[in-house]
Every structure is written in structure tokens, then in C-alpha cells.
């Protein structure tokens, strides 16, 4: 079965100072978008590089998550160390994911260029650093639609299923009304 690690990284939310909105946003979006049955493994942790690295390794190496989505801690502030921890556990860097997330966010705020979101591969798992706000999480995963409902700027999740195919993770399908997975024709499996 597909296992997806979800990690919300926030000092204050992990201490109970305020309610975490990252994990619920990720869970809600995945429930709408991913048609393949999956199990979510959730973590709410502080913005500490060693802690983040430990959890990312455990989700991939011990829990067997083939996809790990993080939210929070991607800015330039000294406490924002999610990308640093992600790069430290990476076997390969996938810079296109961060580039596309910034392109989407630049449609709304010029400060999107300050984001250090990235994507990496560890073993047979894809790890993606998403923004911290629920609206931005949805936009970067799903993409942006015009008034006619057609996708104008593709979200990053359109590329996730094929990336997972290429690294040997399970074949996953999406609900095309939320996000249409792109695969070359030769990589599309017939519906069961």
C-alpha cells in the first residue's frame, strides 16, 4: 500500500501555542486528490534541523513512506531549516519542484522568491517541502485555474505519480477533477 508521510514543522504549533493547520490541509487535499488507497503517517515537530532529519529518515527508512510532504520552515529566517534538513538526507535533488512552487506563489506575492522549497529523492521516496499556509499548499499541489476552470499553471502534484513510477514506488492515480497526473502514454497502466 502507498504510504505518505506528512510532516508539519512549526516551533509554536508543536508546543501547542496554536493549532497546526498544515497537517489538516495536507490530509484534506490528499483525500480529495489521490484516488489510490493510501495510509498517512503524520508528524508535528519543531523547527530543529536534527529533529527534522531524524523524522524524514524514519519516515522513509523505517515507516516505508514512498512520498513525504513537509509544510513550514522554508523561508530565509534563521529558524527555517526544513530545506537544509531535507537536503542533508537526500540521495538526489529534484530542483524543478521548488522552481514550480515559487512560480505559482509569485502569481500572488513578490516575496515568493524568498522561499527555499525543494524536492529530493531518498532511496525510493520523494520528499517535497511545501509552503506553510493551507491556501498555498493547495495552490502549489493543484496548480492555478482560470475563470473557465482550465489549468493555467500546473501544480507540482501533476508530476508526482510519474516521478514515483520512475523511482520504483507504487503506481498511483489521481482524481482528475482535482489534479490530473501526467505520464507519457507508454507509462499509463490500464484501469483494473
d(CA 121, CA 127): 6
Number of domains in the chain: 1
Give a yes or no: residue 145 inside a domain. yes
The region that residue 62 occupies, defined by phi over 0 for left and psi between -120 and 50 for alpha, beta otherwise, is: alpha
pLDDT for residue 14:
86
Condensed to tens digits (0 to 9), the pLDDT of residues 130-174 reads 999 999 999 999 999 999 999 999 999 999 999 999 999 999 999
Give a yes or no: residue 172 inside a domain. yes
Give a yes or no: residue 192 inside a domain. no
Give a yes or no: residue 151 inside a domain. yes
- Which of the pair, 149 or 191, is modelled with greater confidence? 149
d(CA 131, CA 51): 19
Q: Is the dihedral of CA 69, 174, 136, 121 positive or negative?
A: positive
pLDDT for residue 12:
85
Give a yes or no: residue 140 inside a domain. yes
The residues facing 180 across adjacent strands are none
**Residue 65's CATH number:** 3.40.980.10
pLDDT at 45 over 80: yes
Contact call for residues 79 and 47 (beta carbons, < 8 A) = yes
Q: What is the mean pLDDT of residues 40-67?
A: 97
pLDDT at 16 over 90: no
Give a yes or no: residue 36 inside a domain. yes
- State the Cα torsion 81-83-89-90 to the nearest 10°: -170
Q: How confident is the model at residue 179 (pLDDT cuts 50, 70, 90)?
A: very high
pLDDT for residue 191:
73
Q: Which residues contact 29 (CB under 8 A, 6 or more apart)?
A: 137, 138, 141, 142, 178
Condensed to tens digits (0 to 9), the pLDDT of residues 87-104 reads 999 999 999 999 999 999
Q: Which domain holds residue 84?
A: 2-187
Q: Which three cell numbers, joined as nine digits, stand for 68?
A: 513525504
Give a yes or no: residue 125 inside a domain. yes
Count Cα atoms within 13 angstroms, Cβ side, for 48.
11
| Chain centroid to CA 130 | 5
Give a yes or no: residue 155 inside a domain. yes
The H-or-E segment that residue 67 falls in is strand 67-71
Contact call for residues 48 and 81 (beta carbons, < 8 A) = yes
Q: How confident is the model at residue 192 (pLDDT cuts 50, 70, 90)?
A: low
Condensed to tens digits (0 to 9), the pLDDT of residues 55-86 reads 999 999 999 999 999 999 999 999 999 999 99
Nearest to 103 by CA among 86, 115, 93: 115
Q: pTM for this one?
A: 0.96
pLDDT for residue 15:
85
pLDDT for residue 190:
82
Nearest to 79 by CA among 60, 56, 101, 52: 52
pLDDT for residue 72:
94
Amino acid at each position: 500500500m502507498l504510504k505518505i508521510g506528512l510532516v508539519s514543522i512549526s516551533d509554536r504549533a508543536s508546543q501547542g501555542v496554536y493549532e497546526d493547520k498544515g497537517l489538516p490541509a495536507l490530509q484534506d487535499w490528499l483525500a480529495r486528490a489521490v484516488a489510490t488507497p493510501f495510509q498517512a503517517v503524520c508528524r508535528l515537530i519543531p523547527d530543529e534541523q536534527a529533529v527534522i532529519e531524524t523524522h524524514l529518515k524514519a519516515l522513509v527508512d523505517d515507516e516505508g513512506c514512498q512520498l513525504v510532504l513537509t509544510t513550514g520552515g522554508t523561508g530565509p529566517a534563521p529558524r527555517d531549516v526544513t530545506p537544509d534538513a531535507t537536503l542533508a538526507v537526500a540521495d538526489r535533488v529534484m530542483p524543478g519542484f521548488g522552481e514550480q512552487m515559487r512560480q505559482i506563489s509569485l502569481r500572488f506575492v513578490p516575496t515568493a522568491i524568498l522561499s527555499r522549497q525543494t524536492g529530493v529523492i531518498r532511496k525510493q521516496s520523494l520528499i517535497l517541502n511545501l509552503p506553510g499556509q493551507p491556501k498555498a499548499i493547495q495552490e502549489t499541489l493543484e496548480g492555478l485555474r482560470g475563470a473557465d476552470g482550465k489549468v493555467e499553471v500546473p501544480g507540482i502534484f501533476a508530476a508526482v505519480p510519474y516521478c514515483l513510477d520512475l523511482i520504483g514506488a507504487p503506481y498511483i492515480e489521481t482524481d482528475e477533477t482535482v489534479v490530473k497526473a501526467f505520464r507519457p502514454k507508454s507509462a499509463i497502466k490500464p484501469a483494473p
